[in-house]
Structure 1
Amino acid sequence: MSTDDERPETPAVPRTRAEMRAAREAEAAAAAASGSGSSSEDGGADRDDTRSAPHEPAPESDRRFTPPAAGSTTEDETAPSRSSEAAGVVPPARSSSEETREPASSRSSSEETREPASSRSSSEDAGADRDDTRSAPHEPATDSDPGFTPPAAGSTTEGEPAAPRDRRFILALGAVLGILVLVGAGLGVVSLTQGPRITEVQVDPAQAIEASGSRMILTANQSLTAIDESQVTVEPAVPFTLDAAGRGIGIRFTVPLDDDTKYTVSIADVQGAGGGPSTTLTQSFTTQASNIFLLRRDVDGKDSIFRTDLTGEKAVAVFSADKINDFRATSTQLVVSLEEDDGSRLLVMNRDGSEQRELALPGEGYVGAIQVSERGGYVGYSYSDKELSDTEGRASVLVTQSLSGDDEPVVTEVGGEEANIFVWQFVPDSAAVLFIDFDGALSLVDRSTDAGVQSLGLATTIQGISRGTYTAIVERLDGSVVELNLADGSEQPLAASSPDYGTATTITPFPGGTLRHVVARSESGVPNGQAIIKVNDEGAATPLVEVGSTDSILQACASPSGQYAAVVIAPDLADNAYDQMLLPLPENMETHLIDLRSGDELVALTGFDASWCQTAPQF
């Protein structure tokens, strides 16, 4: 059996020029060793002999070389002994000048003839650069070639496949890109199958219960088709306006909202501008519980402004002074008028009493009937000079100025002259002022425009102005009470209540109805009782508070949303002395808080001038 048949089969991989050069040198070295100390009989040596000749082992590159068949000789080379081949040892290489190799031409008939790969292109390789590691173009060794050994890891040849590390990187990169494509496609499919969704909500629940005009802004994940107000539902029901464009949906509540209440806004049949299914967008929020500010006067000590919840159990004094004449509150600030010997002072501060600053007055004088415009950022008051005579000084002029104190006080003029004002009110949700001068002329002036004074006829008093409707309730010279549209000047009689409790001395509007203060009289015309009647928009009347002849109702006003009422009562009027302030009031006063929806009384608190009220008590 041929020795070649006993050699293990190895995979065929192309050899580099360095490998072929090493093989040729090993072949030459084997021929030289054979000529110097080996006879031709060595070719028949026992092939199982594992002993090696005493010489240095061949390098790894030489071991890949397959020697010529035994017994094959040429003029320049002799086959190495079989014992050396078996031991894996190759004799020292020949001189480097001997580069041309010729394989053996004959072998035993029982052995397979083989030709080393180095002999196929020896003439072309003779002048090749010995440091060139690129593979030469030749036929790859076959799997049956016993002398073939795969190239070392990291070696590359022209046309050789990419290394495993490169393949792994390419596969990982492809996997990542595939995942991204699948995720993007999935999101697109979800968007198309589910329709628009809400991605952002903006709303201020604390501001919403304090003033009208608060907004809820919804942002969708895509541009939307046009939305109509008929598609929007708010629960509990409250009036609103809609402003929608692109991805945004703005809902403006035209009246303040109830406190401690969950509101749910639903928008039906919302569709993306690019098509796809329609959907209903729904979003909810809960408003905060209300707080109220009250003024408590103390003839023996300092007066104080308190903040409390509607139970009265968490009352905290936020500001104290010797003589507090009046105060008003916005959603962020308090405005307080102080009475001193040389005149009034007007302070603005945060709702907790911090960061106090004083506003400049038109002169040295006295301030009364202060009011604030939440939307316009103004404070207004009636002003009279301290030094006042029949010929000199200003009496009861209307002054408005910015709450920031950045501007000078502005005295209201009619016909180019400073007007003496009998009664006045800020129009809610605006910077406009409605007033009646001493001549009985009813006028409107808007601080935010240069339109000047608008005349609205003659009137005796202003009962109140509805929030969100721009409608005032005024009493004309003939005693009739009308609802006056301040936008266009149109008016209509105020409907009587059912049942009819008689003529009201004061009427305070709130979202959903009015609070009417009526006085019961005996047949001789002597007052024998008072009551506050709630009248809804349909005219249905319900008594809220009733007092006898010994007590007196000084004021009634509603919370911004019309959820609660604050009714100020002076008990035991005969024994309840008046103080000596600019706004003289009984020393002992109580504020009764009532739930307007149920009619139940929540609590009675010591103090007056509730922050829900637009004006001070009138007696």
Structure 2
Amino acid sequence: MSTDDADHPLTRAELRARRAAEEAAAGVEAAAPEDSEPAEPSEAAAPRASTAADAPEAPQVPAVPTADEPVTRSAAPEQVFDDTPGPRRTPNAGSGTSASTADAAPAQAEAEFPDVAPAPAAAAATRVHQEDPPLVPDDAHVEEPPADPQLAPPTDPRLEPPEWQPHPTPAPVARRRRFPLVLGAVIGALVLVVAAFGVITLLQGPRVSSVKIDAQSAIDASGTRMIITASQPLAKVDPKQVSVSPKAPFTVDTSGRNLGIRFTVPLDDDTTYTVTVKDATGTDKQRQSTLQATFQTPKSTIFLLQRNADGDDTIFLTDLGGKNAVPVVQHEKIDDFRATADHLVVATEKGGTSVLLVMDRKGKNQRELKLPGPGFLSNLQVSERGNLVGYTFTDKGISATSGRASILVSQSLTGDGEPQIVTVGDKMPSIAQWAFVPDSSSALFIDFSGALYVEDRSDAKAKPTALGAAQTVEGISRGTYTAIVSRGNDLVELNLADGSEKPLAASTPDFGVPGTIAPFPGGTLRQVATRDATGLPTGQIVTRVDDDGKATKLFSVTGSDAIMQACPSPSGQYSAIVVAPKLVNNPYDQSLLPLPTTMQTHIVDTKTGKELVVLAGFDPSWCAQAPHR
């Protein structure tokens, strides 16, 4: 009977095979078949064949192949899907039912899945196959087993028992087990690297970790501090171990890993500075190294005032090229102004009296500072270190018997508190000349009687200290607390810290008696009138006199041109010289502080005397105070 279709009656051999598969799935030992003609066993089958005499009649359902023995039909060839590795196979068209040996399928399964044990159902099916192979018709042809032991018998994957589905691969478990090992290895490597760097650091001695400095402040004011942070705590550094190039005076302090270099004078602009510390050691003083740090200073800028008879007066900011001037403050009348690192202080007029304004360096956030009353201020100055503004003040309604004249007043730039008036004893003296001491909050002043005093304006309980008699205060050197004052016909250098003094060195060559003197780090600018053989003035010159007395002519005018003021830049790198051209035909304006209508500022290289630019305007912010003429 044909076995091509499962809907047709099955042969006794096929029924026997189905029954054996069902009993194997239920875990029951297969009984011997009842009436069966003995079949010829294949060469790979067991030598004994059982009968079907004792077996009950099996229900007629489609045959299901076991995991070890597929059932083939003897009719037309049917395509079999093979999931095993290797080329696909389909039964021969003329072949009959194929049979395999009892050990072929389990051996192949073990070869493909060595870590997975056979399921119990598969084992039972194997036993049934070993004890009683199914019978096939006498005329059927037995298909030889595959020549390749790794090639599994063709099966239909749609009918494959679930017991033979492989268990999930253990690879993720292995990866999870490897992760702690990898993480531990990485952490261990990092620890070794950090330890190695620590050992190298100790063996190499200190190294530079970071450098901090406010380069803009360094060119604007003295006292800027550079912090060099080392890789380990430092032993105390002696100033002799430190050098600065280009040369600049400094002080040194050491604290832990930080080395502080304080520049006692402002630095030059647009310059690369190099600080070198030789033989630096850690606190163990075992290993020496050289520390080196560099920084670049920015280019200088300057504020100037322009008065306009037909419009608003303007304060503008410009570089030293003069091509990038920016208006910062505009007002109907501006008498004077001063600049600090954070503020602009501007003296203006309103209703014929003075008004004092303070703002940021961009002209924003303006606020009015309270004055001692309605009146007029002059000699406006600022203390960068004390954050103070000072001026002389005269009441509006002054008379021979009432009112205050030229009293010295100081107050905070923040606007906090009341204006503080300088008193000597119980009197408010009239001040002939005064100046803030650079790098401090102290004021040096001369009253109308010619007495010279110095007083700390930041301390409300401080009292003025008398320093003798003087006619003028020519200037005060930055970073040294040394003032140049005139006593009679002599010019002296007065130490404000201890009161000692010495004559001011004469210049070589001697260009004459200076009318004004402006100190800068390393020397002074001196303004001198030139005369002919008869003693008549022929012009004016500005000379640079070094600390050793060597003098060089820097700038000069002749004829009716007049030098109104000469001021060095904070470091002395440049000089701003204010000139009123053709003074005879240059009328004065109508300000409370009248000056010639046309004013020019010449920027000169102090070292070479080369003129860099001529700018329209006056009252350069490098000057401590405005022109007095």
So what's the TM-score if we normalise by structure 2?
0.75
**1:474 to partner: Cα distance:** 0.5
**What is the letter of the counterpart of residue 480 of structure 2?**
T
Checking the alignment, whether the CA contact within 8 Å between 1:225 and 1:270 is kept in structure 2 is yes
Q: 1:61 aligns with which of 97, 101, 119?
A: 119
Residue by residue over 1:486-534, the C-alpha shift from the partner in whole angstroms, topping out at 9 and shown as x without a partner, is 0000100000000111211111100110011111234554322211111
Residue 467 (structure 1) aligned with residue 470 (structure 2): no
Residue by residue over 1:277-299, the C-alpha shift from the partner in whole angstroms, topping out at 9 and shown as x without a partner, is 43222221111111111112223
Percent of aligned pairs sharing the same letter:
52
Q: Distance in 2 between matches of 1:153 and 1:540?
A: 101
**What is the letter of the counterpart of residue 464 of structure 2?**
V
Checking the alignment, whether the CA contact within 8 Å between 2:67 and 2:125 is kept in structure 1 is no
**1:219 to partner: Cα distance:** 1.9
Checking the alignment, whether the CA contact within 8 Å between 1:401 and 1:408 is kept in structure 2 is yes
Q: 1:153 to 1:278 in 2, by over 3 A?
A: farther
**1:164 to partner: Cα distance:** 3.0
Q: What residue is the counterpart of 1:457 in the other structure?
A: 468
Q: 1:537 aligns with which of 528, 533, 547?
A: 547
Q: What residue is the counterpart of 1:82 in the other structure?
A: 130
Q: Distance in 2 between matches of 1:235 and 1:469?
A: 21
Q: What residue is the counterpart of 1:73 in the other structure?
A: none
Q: Distance in 2 between matches of 1:185 and 1:533?
A: 62
Q: Which runs of 5+ in 1 are unaligned?
A: 1-24, 69-78, 88-148, 157-161
Checking the alignment, whether the CA contact within 8 Å between 2:45 and 2:133 is kept in structure 1 is no
Q: 1:308 to 1:155 in 2, by over 3 A?
A: closer
Q: 1:348 to 1:80 in 2, by over 3 A?
A: closer
Q: 1:316 to 1:29 in 2, by over 3 A?
A: closer
Q: Secondary structure at the match of 2:196?
A: helix
Q: Secondary structure at the match of 1:599?
A: coil
**1:225 to partner: Cα distance:** 2.0
Checking the alignment, whether the CA contact within 8 Å between 1:46 and 1:82 is kept in structure 2 is no
Q: Distance in 2 between matches of 1:506 and 1:163?
A: 92
**1:304 to partner: Cα distance:** 1.6
Checking the alignment, whether the CA contact within 8 Å between 1:192 and 1:276 is kept in structure 2 is no
Q: Secondary structure at the match of 1:199?
A: strand
Q: Distance in 2 between matches of 1:579 and 1:166?
A: 90
Q: 1:513 aligns with which of 502, 517, 523?
A: 523
Q: Secondary structure at the match of 1:468?
A: coil
Q: What residue is the counterpart of 1:72 in the other structure?
A: none
Q: What residue is the counterpart of 1:364 in the other structure?
A: 374
Q: Distance in 2 between matches of 1:465 and 1:84?
A: 124
Q: What residue is the counterpart of 1:386 in the other structure?
A: 396
**1:538 to partner: Cα distance:** 0.8
Checking the alignment, whether the CA contact within 8 Å between 1:45 and 1:81 is kept in structure 2 is no
Q: Secondary structure at the match of 2:187?
A: helix
Within-5 A mapping of 1:357-506: 357-449=367-459, 450-476=461-487, 478-506=488-516
**1:350 to partner: Cα distance:** 1.9
**1:61 to partner: Cα distance:** 2.8
Residue 528 (structure 1) aligned with residue 538 (structure 2): yes
Checking the alignment, whether the CA contact within 8 Å between 2:67 and 2:122 is kept in structure 1 is no
Q: 1:65 to 1:458 in 2, by over 3 A?
A: same
Q: Distance in 2 between matches of 1:301 and 1:250?
A: 50
Q: Distance in 2 between matches of 1:366 and 1:437?
A: 18
**1:306 to partner: Cα distance:** 2.0
Q: Distance in 1 between matches of 2:336 and 2:191?
A: 68
Q: What residue is the counterpart of 1:271 in the other structure?
A: 281
**What is the letter of the counterpart of residue 573 of structure 1?**
L
Residue by residue over 1:133-177, the C-alpha shift from the partner in whole angstroms, topping out at 9 and shown as x without a partner, is xxxxxxxxxxxxxxxx99986899xxxxx9634542343133223
Q: 1:504 to 1:61 in 2, by over 3 A?
A: same
Q: What residue is the counterpart of 1:308 in the other structure?
A: 318
Q: What residue is the counterpart of 1:284 in the other structure?
A: 294
Q: 1:86 to 1:152 in 2, by over 3 A?
A: farther
Checking the alignment, whether the CA contact within 8 Å between 2:66 and 2:125 is kept in structure 1 is no
Q: Secondary structure at the match of 2:119?
A: helix
Q: Distance in 2 between matches of 1:299 and 1:169?
A: 84
Q: What residue is the counterpart of 2:256 in the other structure?
A: 246
Q: Distance in 2 between matches of 1:415 and 1:573?
A: 44
Q: 1:392 to 1:166 in 2, by over 3 A?
A: same
**1:66 to partner: Cα distance:** 9.7
**What is the letter of the counterpart of residue 554 of structure 2?**
L
So what's the TM-score if we normalise by structure 1?
0.76
Q: What residue is the counterpart of 2:359 in the other structure?
A: 349
Checking the alignment, whether the CA contact within 8 Å between 1:527 and 1:549 is kept in structure 2 is no
Q: What residue is the counterpart of 1:48 in the other structure?
A: 44
**What is the letter of the counterpart of residue 232 of structure 2?**
Q
Query: Mean alpha-carbon deviation: is it higher for 183-192 or for 557-566?
Result: 183-192
Q: Distance in 2 between matches of 1:309 and 1:200?
A: 31
Q: 2:194 aligns with which of 163, 184, 199?
A: 184
Q: What residue is the counterpart of 1:124 in the other structure?
A: none
Q: What residue is the counterpart of 2:72 in the other structure?
A: none
**What is the letter of the counterpart of residue 313 of structure 1?**
K
Q: 1:331 aligns with which of 341, 357, 363?
A: 341
Q: Which runs of 5+ in 2 are unaligned?
A: 1-22, 53-62, 69-117, 136-162
Residue by residue over 1:456-484, the C-alpha shift from the partner in whole angstroms, topping out at 9 and shown as x without a partner, is 111011000001111000011x2211100
Q: 1:551 aligns with which of 549, 557, 561?
A: 561
**1:34 to partner: Cα distance:** 5.8
**What is the letter of the counterpart of residue 472 of structure 2?**
T
Q: Secondary structure at the match of 2:328?
A: strand
Q: 1:38 to 1:376 in 2, by over 3 A?
A: farther
**1:240 to partner: Cα distance:** 1.1
Q: Distance in 1 between matches of 2:187 and 2:598?
A: 79
**What is the letter of the counterpart of residue 45 of structure 2?**
D
**What is the letter of the counterpart of residue 484 of structure 2?**
I
Checking the alignment, whether the CA contact within 8 Å between 1:293 and 1:305 is kept in structure 2 is yes
Q: Secondary structure at the match of 1:417?
A: coil
Q: Distance in 1 between matches of 2:165 and 2:199?
A: 51
Kindly report the root-mean-square deviation, in angstroms, between the aligned alpha carbons of the 2 structures: 3.3
Q: 1:295 aligns with which of 298, 305, 326?
A: 305
Q: What residue is the counterpart of 2:59 in the other structure?
A: none
Q: What residue is the counterpart of 1:159 in the other structure?
A: none
**1:578 to partner: Cα distance:** 1.9
**What is the letter of the counterpart of residue 410 of structure 1?**
Q
Checking the alignment, whether the CA contact within 8 Å between 2:119 and 2:164 is kept in structure 1 is no
Checking the alignment, whether the CA contact within 8 Å between 1:569 and 1:590 is kept in structure 2 is yes
Q: Distance in 1 between matches of 2:166 and 2:624?
A: 94
Query: Mean alpha-carbon deviation: is it higher for 589-598 or for 215-224?
Result: 215-224
Q: What residue is the counterpart of 2:78 in the other structure?
A: none
Checking the alignment, whether the CA contact within 8 Å between 2:205 and 2:287 is kept in structure 1 is yes
Within-5 A mapping of 1:5-24: none
Q: Distance in 2 between matches of 1:399 and 1:276?
A: 57
Q: Distance in 2 between matches of 1:300 and 1:496?
A: 47
Q: What residue is the counterpart of 1:17 in the other structure?
A: none
**1:412 to partner: Cα distance:** 0.4
Residue 213 (structure 1) aligned with residue 223 (structure 2): yes
Q: What residue is the counterpart of 1:577 in the other structure?
A: 587
Residue by residue over 1:98-153, the C-alpha shift from the partner in whole angstroms, topping out at 9 and shown as x without a partner, is xxxxxxxxxxxxxxxxxxxxxxxxxxxxxxxxxxxxxxxxxxxxxxxxxxx99986
Residue by residue over 1:290-337, the C-alpha shift from the partner in whole angstroms, topping out at 9 and shown as x without a partner, is 111111222333222122111222222222222211111112221111
Checking the alignment, whether the CA contact within 8 Å between 1:461 and 1:475 is kept in structure 2 is yes
Q: 1:181 to 1:341 in 2, by over 3 A?
A: closer
Q: 1:84 to 1:198 in 2, by over 3 A?
A: farther
